[in-house]
Structure 1
Amino acid sequence: MRLFVAIDLPDSVKQQLEEIVTELSTCRADVRWVHSDSMHLTLKFLGNVAPQELVEIDRVLSRIVATTQPTQGRLRNVGSFPHLHRPRVLWIGVETDNGMLSSLQTDLDAALAKIRFSREDRRFRPHITLGRIRGNRRLSALREAVEKQSGHKAGSFKIEHLTLFESRQRRGSTRYTALTTHSFEVR
């Protein structure tokens, strides 16, 4: 099983993101756009996991949410990795008060490292992937579209759960299935 831990998004946020993707896609660049139903904010990719490891992962997630308070997330700024001059991934950033998502990701990374999962070596940048660039066709039009959206500020949404997802490849597409959801307990 290929697993990852993420913040699932409310339908209202997925709708806003679908509108942004629709606007960006008018540039007709060679991008594989993420369908809004598949959008999420990844905190930790676990990779291939044996079914018997699920219980221990669940325990870790339960411990993390027991000390985590719900917060407001805000969609901010469309951008790209590694940078706009040579984009490979298009994303929209997510902000929280006091860097809560970065703290949560650090705690999660440390707790999962204790049960065998490698620590993340890249700096965590809270974001939601909007699309992946497949080729160089119409990149200048794509850059212009991203720059138009770069100051984007959408409404806020409540972040109150961690979800353990399974990722499956099927007929050229990826499907995500929520296996468990853990609600933040500190109120």
Structure 2
Amino acid sequence: MAERWFLALWPDARTRDALVCQTAGALPEAARPTHPADLHLTLVFLGELDAGRVACVEAVAEAVSAPAFELEIDRLGHFTRSRVLWCGPSCTPEVAQTLIGSLQSGLEGCGIAPERRSFRPHLTLARKVSRYQGHALPEVVIWPVRELVLAFGVSGSRPRYRAHRRWRLSVAS
């Protein structure tokens, strides 16, 4: 298994459709848009994993307890160096930060070192964006986050990403 793996949040169909609708006007003509089914927010990039490490990552994700929460997707941004146009929240809820910390801590036992860069939550909207004109989202998209997803990429395919396994986040009764 040489695919590139990651743990992510995946929007439900309603949220995905709202994101596509609210961000459509921001995509420059020359941009390479992300397939709508590929929209996700990476929590932890894992890289290439063998079957043993996939099993270890699954055990870590299974053991993590986190409540469901909401993300307010309210801004667009541009990573100049990687030429990526993205959308994301202005403010990351504490529960999301705690979830990432718990995952990274558990993944150290799998031999996966925590990311050194600070977490910048975003969903990639398009690649090959040289310049960003500063469009804003017409309306905030409220994303009810209800699950954690272990996924991997398949090169040469669209959509590119495949969900391998999902875990429900706890919902208060």
Both proteins in one fold, TM over 0.5: yes
Query: Is residue 2:143 matched to residue 1:157?
Result: yes
Q: What's the CA shift for 1:16?
A: 1.8
Task: Map Cα deviations across residues 80-103 of structure 1 (whole Å, 9 max, x no partner).
Answer: 124xxx772111113667422222
Secondary structure class of the residue paired with 1:170? coil
Output the TM-score relative to the length of structure 1: 0.80
TM superposition shift of 1:51:
1.6
* Structure 1: distance between partners of 2:99 and 2:57: 15
Question: Do the aligned partners of residues 152 and 21 (structure 1) sit closer, same or farther apart at CA in structure 2, a change above 3 Å counting?
Answer: closer
Would you say the 8 A contact 2:8–2:40 is kept in 1?
yes
Q: CA deviation at 1:49?
A: 0.5
- Change in Cα spacing, 1:9 to 1:95, as seen in structure 2 (3 Å) is farther
**Number of residue-to-residue matches in the alignment:** 170
Mapped pair 1:5 → 2:7: yes
Work out the CA distance in 2 between the residues paired with 1:121 and 1:53: 20
TM-score norm. by structure 2 comes to 0.86
Structure 1 residue 104 corresponds to structure 2 residue 99: yes
Partners of 1:72 and 1:96 within 8 A in 2: no
* Distance 1:43-1:148 versus aligned 2 partners, 3 A rule: same
Could you tell me the percent identity over the aligned residues?
24
Aligned twin of 1:74: 72
Task: Point out the structure with the larger strand share.
Answer: 1
Are residues 1:130 and 2:125 paired?
A: yes
**Distance (Å, rounded) in 1 between the aligned partners of 2:113 and 2:14:** 34
Unaligned segments of structure 2, at least 5 residues: none
What is the CA distance between 1:68 and its match in structure 2?
0.7
Query: Hey, what does 2:135 align to over in structure 1?
Result: 148
State whether residues 9 and 148 of structure 2, in contact with CA within 8 Å, keep that contact through their aligned partners in structure 1. Answer: yes
1:148 alignment partner, SS class:
coil
Deviation at 1:177? 0.9
Structure 1 residues 52 and 115, CA gap change in structure 2 (3 angstroms): closer
Structure 1, gaps ≥5 residues long? none
- 1:169 and 2:163 aligned: no
Contact 1:167 1:174 in 2 (8 A): no
User: For structure 1, which segment, 30-39 or 99-108, has the greater mean C-alpha deviation from structure 2 after superposition?
Assistant: 99-108
What secondary structure sits across from 1:169 in the alignment? coil
Who wins on radius of gyration, i.e. which is larger?
1
Shift of 1:20: 3.5
Q: 1:113 Cα shift?
A: 1.6
Over residues 51-98 of structure 1, what are the superposed CA-to-partner deviations in whole Å (9 max), with x where a residue is unaligned? 23222111100111xx2111111111111124xxx7721111136674
Q: Residue 60 of structure 2 corresponds to which residue in structure 1?
A: 60
Q: Distance in 2 between matches of 1:165 and 1:148?
A: 30
